[in-house]
Amino acid sequence: MPELPEVETVMRGFRDAFEGHRISHVTVNRPDLRWPFPADLREKLEGHHVLSFRRRAKYILVRLEGGWSMLLHLGMSGRLTIGRAGTNATPPAHEHLVLETDSGARAGLVDPRRFGMVDLVRTSEEDSHRLLAHLGMEPLSDAMTGPALAELFRGRRSPIKSALLDQKLIAGLGNIYVCEALFRCGIHPERQACTLTGEETAALAEAIPQILEQAIASGGSSLRDYVQADGTKGAFQDLHLVYGREGVPCPNCGAEHPIQRITQAGRSTFFCPTCQK
């Protein structure tokens, strides 16, 4: 599933092509993904200018004149392809929704597994939408501080990795970047969240935004299906220190201590048992 840096990267590509332009045509090639498309989707989009974009956790919000926003989630393997309308290129398979603007931009939502979703919400009520209302702090916001994390983890006996992945606490973090952040901070992923010291929560509050910003600058991590909006792969996978590197020597403590993989809550966790305590 695309994580925060990948969604942010896609959102920026979408924004660059569509912001300030009028949606001239909407093509719905199937009536649903995870859930049915809104019955009035075409009515709310066609003929309206795109005012701005926003990312909330792993969701993209497209704000339109008329007071409505389109809410988009890419699901497990969805992607948004940006190009030019009217070309002779064959549309990709599993392209379920197409938006075109008066400037000739084209966006196609491709989702082979159909775990993504599209919905409409009044712009003034975005944060009350059933999929957004429960979300926690944004890790790239000023709310991400050591004391704030310490308060979130207070009394929590769950593993720190599970706490960081809890979208009700911190919105948008995923498996890749949590593994990377815990490694940089020297924190074992199985540590109880409530045992972290003030120094450790401060280190996490600094490392998490740094890693996310580095990943965004690199276009995200292309491991399976993910590509940027222009169809090119991201490059941050080449900078992973632990994720997907089981058996590789630890970049900190060397060949005698290879990166290990364990399973937590059904997900692979990569870490160095020597460096992370």
Mean pLDDT of the chain: 96
Q: In this structure, are residues 171 and 131 in contact, taking their beta carbons and an 8 Å threshold?
A: no
The catalytic residue among 44, 55, 58, 79 is: 58
Q: Whose structure tokens read 């299906």?
A: 225
Q: In this structure, are residues 18 and 99 in contact, taking their beta carbons and an 8 Å threshold?
A: yes
1, pLDDT greater than 90: no
Counting residues of the chain whose pLDDT is more than 90, the rounded percentage is 88
Which homologous superfamily does the CATH classification assign to the domain defined by 4-128?
MutM-like, N-terminal (3.20.190.10)
Q: Is 200 a catalytic residue?
A: no
CA–CA distances in Å: residue 112 to residues 33, 96, 229 = 10, 9, 16
Q: Is 3 a catalytic residue?
A: yes
The catalytic residue among 3, 6, 100, 200 is: 3
Per residue in 114-144, pLDDT tens? Answer: 999 999 999 999 999 999 999 999 999 999 9
Q: Is 277 a catalytic residue?
A: no
> Quick one: how many helices (H) and strands (E) in the chain?
6, 12
**Which residues are documented as binding site for DNA?**
94, 113, 156
Q: In this structure, are residues 184 and 241 in contact, taking their beta carbons and an 8 Å threshold?
A: yes
| One CATH from 3.30.420.40, 3.60.15.10, 1.10.8.50, 3.40.1710.10 for 146-271 | 1.10.8.50
Q: Is 2 a catalytic residue?
A: yes
| Residue boundaries of the structural domains of the chain | 4-128, 146-271
pTM to 2 decimal places: 0.94
